[in-house]
Amino acid sequence: MTGVYAFTFDTLDADATLHGRMFAPGAGVDEDPVTGTASGAVGAYLREVGAFGGGAQSAGESSGERGDPRDGDLPAELTLEQGHFVDRPGRVRVRARSEPVEVGGRAVTALDGSVAVPPSDDDEIIEV
């Protein structure tokens, strides 16, 4: 396992739906400040298990259309907050009522640079 995304409905900001934290030490990331991929997966998971009042899906059922009864009270858009404990708070918006799940938000550049790879010589070892 590379990492784990923990989430709770207990949020810091009243207008957020969930608070999440992404830990991936297996990938060299102690804590990722904001994780769109994991947020989208959580949105789909919450839809599938009926976390907002809808019933969980039976095997072979599809919830691909808006207004599906399994959505229950699933909000049209979830707001996931993350990054507060690494001093880089952010938000991810997730629309999970239909397929594909839509993930969005705003971003800022945290690091800008380039990597130069020297020409390959079979008898040299590149150390980083």
**Widest distance between CA atoms in the chain:** 64
pLDDT for res 107 = 86
Domains of the chain: 4-104 (3.10.310.10)
Mean per-residue pLDDT for 58-86? Answer: 70
Judge whether 18 and 96 are in contact, CB under 8 Å: no
Average confidence (pLDDT) over 77-96: 96
Average pLDDT estimate for 49-75:
61
pLDDT level of residue 124 (50, 70, 90 thresholds): low
Does the predicted model carry a pTM greater than 0.85?
no
Higher pLDDT, 68 or 125: 125
